[in-house]
Amino acid sequence: MDLAINLTYILSAALFIFGLKMLASPRTARMGNLVSAVGMLIAVVMTLMNRGILDFKWIALGLTAGSLIGVFAARLIAMTAMPEMVAIFNGFGGIASLLVGWSVYHRAPGIELFLVISILLSVLIGGVTFTGSLVAFGKLNGVIGSKPVLYRGQHIVNSLVLIGIVTLAVLFGLQPAGGYLFFLLLVAMSLVFGVLFVIPIGGADMPVVISLLNSFSGLAACAAGFVIENNLLIVAGALVGASGIILTNIMCKAMNRSLKNVLFSGFGAADTSGSGELTGEVKPISPEDAFLILEAASSVVVVPGYGLAVAQAQHVVKELADLLEANGAEVRYAIHPVAGRMPGHMNVLLAEANVPYDQLAEMDDINKTMETVDVCLVIGANDVVNPAAREDENSPIYGMPIVNADYARTVFVLKRSMASGFSGISNPLFFKENTRMLFGDAKASIQALIGEFKGL
Give me the DSSP letters along 347-384: HHHHHHTT--GGGEEEHHHHHHHGGG-SEEEEES--GG
Determine the Cα–Cα distance for residues 206 and 232; give it in Å rounded to an integer: 30
- Which residues neighbour 177 within 8 Å (Cβ) at sequence distance 6 or greater? 109, 110, 111
Closest CA to 344 of 456, 214, 232, 452: 214
Determine the Cα–Cα distance for residues 374 and 293; give it in Å rounded to an integer: 9
Q: Please tell me what DSSP assigns to residue 56.
A: -
Closest CA to 406 of 382, 387, 392, 390: 387
Residue 288 vs residues 284, 313, 334, 416, 455: alpha-carbon distances, Å: 12, 19, 25, 17, 11
Determine the Cα–Cα distance for residues 207 and 220; give it in Å rounded to an integer: 20
Exposed/middle/buried for 286, CB within 10 Å: 0-12, 13-18, 19+?
Answer: middle
Find the angle CA(379)-CA(391)-CA(286) to the nearest 5 degrees.
Answer: 30
Residue 99 vs residues 82, 92, 95, 105, 127: alpha-carbon distances, Å: 26, 11, 6, 10, 9
CB 321 within 8 A of CB 331: yes
Q: Is 374 a catalytic residue?
A: no
Give me the DSSP letters along 202-267: -GGGHHHHHHHHHHHHHHHHHHHHHHHT-HHHHHHHHHHHHHHHHHHHHHHHHTT--HHHHHHS-T
Of 364, 365, 383, 392, the active-site residue reads 383
Cβ neighbours, 10 Å, residue 185: 17
Write out the catalytic residue numbers: 383
